[in-house]
């Protein structure tokens, strides 16, 4: 006998940010489409992956400890990898404790797990506007309310943040302090201190998502991590990733959290996937112990600077008069705004027909989007291809 009850979609389908998730999917598809020069996804330059070094590390791990590397392992992650990440953070002035690190399946999993632990349905999380689309997806998945806070070319505006805290009574603030995705800005030290003070004064959690700190290519000194300010040591979670340093396909990220959050996240991760891949973690730990990551990153940063310069040099001719764009000091993205009246989402099919792709800015906004904005990733293509792409872009206008 068949039931007469209609099929009700599961609640997750109803609440998933369908529009925003399609941006990520579209970027992945466009990046793999032959003939299209894609500036859409934040894909690290594949020719710069240290394939040989990583192959040697996988080889070593499988040869010397293969049975352990192929077995289930601890949810918190490989102790050697946690120690290597803590040591790297310490060398950069952040007092990390390996026992407060959880290795995650990409930083993205860290964001999802944190959303689940820090936010309940209806809870408010303040976000930079615009912000990283997939963080918004993680917040939407737990039915939290993302409230936008104004940004300028240096990042979140402290007065706007203070107003939003008073008005919205948020549980947390999420921000990307270095070379932000999508806008590319980097928060100055004074604003970092102000964010920490406000969070401490109002009892907010800080989720500091920092995958790009090590991709600075303008030579300026590293800025302090917000999570390192003593006022917020018990209420700030630093989220990081090996995606942009080693290879995103390994799906290795991490978070450093105060003890209660660390415990809660580890429990949630156990339910989600038990642990991140044992063999990938072991290979990464061996790689970090035996290779000079700093030397590798020097090469990567140099290449990214050249690519950023090639894109910046082509933008004046490619975009219509009256456009303006960011001048990144690192990271992966240039954020541009065309003159009023342009709609970059409507223009995208024309761009793709011309053989070039970008990401329209609208999905990165919470609330009213600015349709004239777009994000260009400069890291995936070599300078000659970037010049070709800029020439193709110019045919749109
Ligand atoms: C700001 C930000 N956070 C997190 C991530 C996720 O990175 P992962 O590959 O480590 O999951 C990205 C990826 O582009 C990102 O831009």
Write the pLDDT tens digit of every residue in 129-172.
Answer: 999 999 999 999 999 999 999 999 999 999 999 999 999 999 99
Choosing from 23, 42, 132 the residue with most ligand 1 atoms within 8 A of its CB, the one to mutate for a pocket test is 132
What is the predicted pLDDT for the residue at 123?
Answer: 98
Is the CB of 176 inside a 6 Å radius of any atom of ligand 1? yes
Ligand 1 center–CA 189 separation, angstroms = 23
Quick one: pLDDT band at residue 29, thresholds 50, 70, 90?
A: confident
Region 29-50: what's the mean pLDDT? 88
Is the CB of 361 inside a 6 Å radius of any atom of ligand 1? no
Fold classification of 52-290 is 3.40.640
Report the share of the chain in percent with pLDDT over 90: 90
What is the predicted pLDDT for the residue at 4?
Answer: 46
Quick one: pLDDT band at residue 7, thresholds 50, 70, 90?
A: low
pTM assigned to the model: 0.94
Largest CA-CA distance found in the chain, in angstroms, rounded:
71
Domain ranges of the chain: 11-49+295-394, 52-290
Q: Is 263 exposed, middle or buried (0-12, 13-18, 19+ CB in 10 A)?
A: middle
Query: How far apart (Å, rounded) are the C-alpha atoms in residues 254 and 81?
Result: 10
Phi first, then psi, for residue 362 (nearest 5°) are -50, -45
Map residue 105 onto helix, strand or coil: strand
| Residue among 389, 297, 303, 313 at smallest CA distance from 352 | 389
Is the CB of 107 inside a 6 Å radius of any atom of ligand 1? yes
Averaged pLDDT of the chain: 93
Q: What is the DSSP string of 197-250?
A: HHHHHHT-EEEEE-TTGGGB-S-PPPPPPGGGSGGGTTTEEEEEESTTTT-GGG
The CATH number of the domain covering residues in 11-49+295-394: 3.90.1150.10
Q: pLDDT tens across 69-103, in order?
A: 999 999 999 999 999 999 999 999 999 999 999 99
| pLDDT value at 18 more than 60 | no
Is the CB of 253 inside a 6 Å radius of any atom of ligand 1? yes
Region 185-204: what's the mean pLDDT? 98
Is the CB of 276 inside a 6 Å radius of any atom of ligand 1? no
Is the CB of 110 inside a 6 Å radius of any atom of ligand 1? no
Ligand 1 center–CA 211 separation, angstroms = 6
Choosing from 27, 43, 137, 241 the residue with most ligand 1 atoms within 8 A of its CB, the one to mutate for a pocket test is 241
Q: pLDDT tens across 270-326, in order?
A: 999 999 999 999 999 999 999 999 999 999 999 999 999 999 999 999 999 999 999
């Amino acid at each position: 006998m068949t039931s007469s009850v209609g099929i009700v979609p599961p609640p997750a389908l109803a609440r998933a940010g369908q529009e925003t998730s399609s941006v990520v999917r579209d970027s992945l598809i466009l990046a793999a489409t032959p003939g299209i020069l894609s500036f859409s996804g934040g894909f690290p330059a594949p020719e710069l992956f240290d394939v040989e070094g990583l192959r040697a590390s996988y080889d070593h791990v499988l040869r010397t400890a293969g049975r352990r590397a192929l077995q289930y392992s601890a949810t918190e992650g490989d102790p050697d990898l946690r120690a290597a990440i803590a040591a790297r953070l310490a060398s950069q002035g952040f007092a990390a404790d390996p026992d407060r690190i959880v290795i995650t399946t990409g930083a993205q999993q860290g964001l999802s797990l944190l959303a689940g632990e820090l936010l309940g349905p209806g809870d408010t999380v303040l976000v930079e506007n615009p912000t990283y689309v997939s963080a918004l997806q993680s917040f939407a998945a737990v039915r939290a309310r993302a409230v936008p806070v104004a940004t300028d070319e240096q990042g979140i505006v402290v007065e706007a943040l203070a107003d939003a805290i008073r008005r919205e009574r948020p549980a947390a603030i999420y921000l990307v302090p270095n070379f932000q995705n999508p806008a590319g800005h980097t928060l100055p030290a004074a604003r970092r201190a102000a964010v920490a003070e406000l969070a401490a004064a109002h009892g907010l959690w800080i989720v500091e998502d920092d995958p790009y700190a090590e991709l600075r290519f303008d030579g300026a000194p590293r800025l302090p991590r917000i999570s390192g300010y003593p006022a917020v040591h018990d209420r700030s979670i630093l989220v990081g990733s090996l995606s942009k340093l080693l290879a995103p396909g390994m799906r290795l990220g991490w978070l450093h959290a105060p003890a209660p959050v660390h415990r809660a996240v580890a429990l949630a991760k156990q339910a989600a996937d038990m642990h991140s891949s044992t063999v990938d973690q072991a290979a990464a730990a061996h790689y970090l112990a035996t290779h000079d990551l700093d030397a590798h990153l020097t090469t990567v940063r140099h290449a990214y600077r050249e690519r950023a310069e090639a894109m910046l040099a082509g933008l004046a001719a490619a975009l219509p008069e009256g456009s303006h764009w960011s001048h990144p000091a690192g990271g992966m993205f240039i954020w541009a705004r065309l003159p009023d009246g342009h709609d970059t989402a409507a223009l995208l099919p024309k761009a793709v027909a011309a053989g070039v792709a970008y990401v329209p800015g609208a999905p990165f906004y919470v609330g009213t989007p600015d349709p004239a904005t777009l994000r260009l990733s400069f890291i995936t293509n070599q300078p000659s291809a970037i010049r070709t792409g800029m020439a193709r872009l110019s045919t749109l206008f």
